[in-house]
Amino acid sequence: MLRVTSIPRPDWKKQAAKYGFHFHTLYGEPYWDESAYYQFTLKQIEQDLEDPTAELHQMCLEVVDWVVRDERLLKQCQIPEAHWEAVASSWHQRQPSLYSRLDLVYSGQGPAKLLENNADTPTSLYESGFWQWLWLEQQVDTGHLPRQADQFNSLQEKLIARMQEIARHYGINQMHFACCKGTEEDRGTVQYLQDCAIAAGLQADFVFIEDIGLADTGVFTDLSDHPITECFKLYPWEFMLREDYADALKGAAVNWIEPLWKTVLSNKALLPLLWQRFPNHPNLLPAFFENELPAALPETGSGQWIKKPLFSREGANISMLNSKGELQSQLSDGPYGEEGFIIQAYEPLPRFDENYTLIGSWLVDNQPAGISIREDTSPITQDLSRYLPHIIA
């Protein structure tokens, strides 16, 4: 695993405009960065990332199967009691999932460690599945990269195939897609999934989350008053289960993507539950519920622990603890935490030049489908991270 500096394609911004990639620069800071790329060996990709990703996913599914049968665990995951039955039945019906992203700490050697599972609302999909793919194709075509250079990235192919499976599963030729207003990045992610759905032969209608309506017949509607029967939502389940329409979810009978059982996986309670179920697994970091700490914390490489809320997003409300579990420093502020915390052994991100590097490892349904690389100048928060492409050589 190397970081290699590289010459950006001179016309990449023009191409971004043509293909509708509007969030390559966010808040005046570069987000897409092709001034360098990461280079992996095929062995690193297959043995250290692809295989563990498949295995970690299966372990996560085992945790779901465990949680939905146990009221104590459903409570510990802070899933509102009114929805326990719906969570369990979405799992027992095997409602199809589309995709997930595992965030891994990996330096090129040793086992990759699972940091988090973005199983419900993962973003950076477009820049992974399409935009870095296009970068590689063009860099090879212009001779800037060798012809045999490859990339671990079958996302688009797999997303289209999965959309076809989901359409067959539900017997549909149309699906809705939804995200919140006012975020170009989320809208871009959803537009990409609409493109994949269209390539899969579906009609893909869009509605903003805030515009969803409730009809006299109990179904949800879009702005044209058309019923929403199948819907991809880039909006967290933990919010939906607590908002005004939560009570209408059952009657509306929407087949949601991601399905409701994903709320177990996108919850940071997953991390201590994985550690309980698979203690000392090489791809896991020790993790505990804050209210169930063992008498003595195990020793860890860094000697430090990270404390995070069950529902934190964007790296909010994170603190660093010392080896005894005492507060060392608060790393970020935020609105989360009411729902409780977990602690996880602190595994520093590997450093390449001045950058700390995080790997996002994608799954489409249960198949590993590629990686994305994000870099940050800060070792923990990933608040201003940049996206870099990668190659296999």
Partner 1 sequence: MTNQKRTRSINLAQMRKGFALKPLSVGIAGILLSACADDRQEAKIYTSLEDCTRDNPGATAQCEAAYKTALDEAARTSPRFNSEYDCEYEFGANQCRQAESGGSSFFVPFMAGYMVSSLLSPNRYYSQPIYTSYSPYSPFRSRWISADGYVFDGDIRKRDYRVSPDVYKPKPTVNRTINRGGFGSSVRAKSSWGSSSRSGGWGG
- Residue 286 or 360 with smaller CB distance to partner 1: 360
**Residue-level length of the chain:** 393
Pick one of 152, 275, 346, 352: the residue that binds partner 1 (CB under 8 A): 152
* 30, 80, 282, 334: which one binds partner 1 (CB under 8 A): 334
- Residue from 129, 259, 272, 286 in contact with partner 1 (CB under 8 A): 129
Nearest-approach distance from CB 307 to partner 1, in angstroms: 18
- Closer Cβ to partner 1, 298 or 335, answer by number: 335
Among residues 104, 209, 264, 345, the one that binds partner 1 under rule CB under 8 A: 209
Nearer Cβ to partner 1, position 164 or 304?
A: 164
Binding mask 230-259 for partner 1 (x = CB under 8 A): ----xxx--xx-xxxx--x-----------
Residue 374 tokens, joined: 């994000």
For residues 132 and 297, which CB has a smaller minimum distance to partner 1 in the complex?
Answer: 132
**Closer to partner 1 by Cβ: residue 73 or 134:** 134
The interface region with partner 1, picked from 54-62, 91-99, 120-128, 344-352 by CB under 8 A, is 120-128
Of 70 and 383, which has the nearer Cβ to partner 1?
383
Tell me how far, at minimum, the Cβ of 6 lies from partner 1, in Å.
18
Indicate which single residue of 48, 127, 186, 375 sits in contact with partner 1 (rule: CB under 8 A): 186
Nearest C-alpha neighbor of 374 from the set 26, 19, 37, 12 = 37
Cα-to-chain-centroid distance, residue 393: 26
Encoded amino acid at 182, one letter: G
Q: Should residue 213 be labelled a site residue for partner 1 when binding is judged by CB under 8 A? A: yes
Which listed residue (51, 150, 165, 290) binds partner 1 by CB under 8 A?
Answer: 150
Using DSSP's 3-state secondary structure scheme, residue 1 falls into: coil
**Residue of 215, 320, 380, 393 interacting with partner 1 (CB under 8 A):** 215
Q: Parallel, antiparallel, or unpaired: how do β-strands 36-40 and 2-5 relate?
A: antiparallel
Name the minimum Å distance from CB 326 to partner 1. 26
Binding to partner 1 (CB under 8 A) within 6-25 occurs at 18-20
Rounded distance, CA 120 to CA 316, Å?
18
Does 372 interact with partner 1 (rule: CB under 8 A)? no
Which neighbouring-strand residues pair with 174?
203
d(CA 269, CA 33): 33
Nearest by Cα to 362 from 377, 374, 346: 374
Task: Based on the shown chain and the rule CB under 8 A, indicate whether residue 226 belongs to the binding site for partner 1.
Answer: yes
Count of CB atoms situated within 10 Å of the CB of 143: 8
Give the footprint of partner 1 on residues 256-295 (CB under 8 A).
Answer: 266
Closest CA to 256 of 372, 178, 315: 178
- 171 in contact with partner 1 (CB under 8 A): yes
Asked if 225 is part of the footprint of partner 1 (rule: CB under 8 A), the reply reads: yes
Amino acid making up residue 7: I
Choose, by CB under 8 A, the member of 8, 12, 13, 26 that binds partner 1. Answer: 26
Residue 211 CA to residue 206 CA, distance in Å, equals 10
Nearest 5°: the CA angle 280, 45, 346 is 40
Q: Token pair of 307, please?
A: 């404390």
Vertex 187, ends 21 and 58: CA angle to 5°? 100
**For 333-337, which contacts have Cβ atoms below 8 Å and span 24 or more sequence positions?**
334/309, 336/309, 336/311, 336/312, 337/309, 337/312
Interface map 72-91 toward partner 1 (x if CB under 8 A)? --------------------
- Residue choice 1, 36, 45, 373 for contact with partner 1 (CB under 8 A): 45
